[in-house]
Amino acid sequence: MHALPLLVEPEHLEPLLGEPDLLIVDLCQANNYAEAHIPGAVHLEYANLLLGTKPAPGLLPDAARLSATLSAIGLTPERHVVAYDVEGGGRACRFIWTLDALGHSGSSLLNGGLFSWANEAHPLSQQPTKPTPSSYWASIGDQVVATRDYIKQHLRDAQVVLLDARTAEEYNGTTVRAARGGHIPGAVNLNWLDTIDRTRNYRLLPDNILLAMLAERGLRDDHEVITYCHTHHRSAHSYVMLRHLGFDRAKGYPGAWAEWGNSPDTPIET
């Protein structure tokens, strides 16, 4: 199988269906998967990627739980993953970020997900794929994972920029979803939905437009950019966008605002 880029188009994926070293992972709701999915895709419950414990449900599960989850879908270190969903890419990108956190070497996002695949007449199936379980061992690194303490230590670091992927209302504190509203000091705001082109089946906007949006907010590809939202769902999409655009030092904050806004000792701005 030819090497796939981080962002793969449906027409480039279709000829590869059935390749043994390719694992297509569907992160839609179970009922969406039953209704229609990419032939050969295995289904993965999104909740299995999250710790799921308040006040910060978006934190990563431990390595043992991730190992069991990834073994159950048949992942091996050699297999290249293509992930997709039907909600703009947030779930699929959270999976890709998780694989990056584990040091998995090959993963791609289907640009537009099931929207682009189905609306552009690519094949669909209702036949569930039963994966052959593997023995995948997950080991969580810190290269793409930012913690609350790490961010607190780098709030005045000019080389570290925080990108808040939430709505403007969440960012400025008029919509409050934690004990406190607002944003992490110094963070810039780019709503993840503003980076998606609804006229092109929910693909990412063209690279030049995205780069201009980032430049307007003072982001350069030599910055370490840490993305966050409320549970690192929306901001996982921002993380993959940054990686696609050449921001090789991108990280994600899985604790996100759910953790930061509920912590009594973290500074905030509104």
Does 177 reside within a domain?
Answer: yes
- Residues 175 and 243 reside in one and the same domain: yes
- Residues 160 and 84 reside in one and the same domain: no
Residues of the domain holding 205: 148-260
Does 269 reside within a domain?
Answer: no
Quote the pLDDT of residue 2.
62
**Domain endpoint, select from 74, 102, 119:** 119
Does 140 reside within a domain?
Answer: no
Q: What is the pLDDT of residues 81-120, one digit of tens each?
A: 999 999 999 999 999 999 999 999 999 999 999 999 999 9
- Residues 105 and 11 reside in one and the same domain: yes
Quote the pLDDT of residue 120.
98
Q: Do the beta carbons of residue 66 and residue 16 sit within 8 Å?
A: no
**Domain endpoint, select from 119, 135, 167:** 119
- Residues 85 and 165 reside in one and the same domain: no
Does 228 reside within a domain?
Answer: yes
User: Which entry of 92, 229, 250, 256 is annotated as an active-site residue?
Assistant: 229
User: pTM higher than 0.95 for the full model?
Assistant: yes
- Residues 90 and 155 reside in one and the same domain: no
**Domain endpoint, select from 98, 119, 140:** 119
- Residues 253 and 152 reside in one and the same domain: yes
Q: What is the CATH number of the domain that holds 96?
A: 3.40.250.10
Total of domains in the chain: 2
Q: What is the pLDDT of residues 145-175, one digit of tens each?
A: 999 999 999 999 999 999 999 999 999 999 9
- Residues 34 and 76 reside in one and the same domain: yes
How confident is the chain (270 residues) per 10-residue block, as mean pLDDT? 89 97 98 98 98 97 98 98 97 98 97 98 98 97 97 97 98 98 98 98 98 98 98 98 98 98 97
Give the side-chain half-sphere CA count within 13 A for 191: 9
Let me know if 28 is a catalytic residue.
no
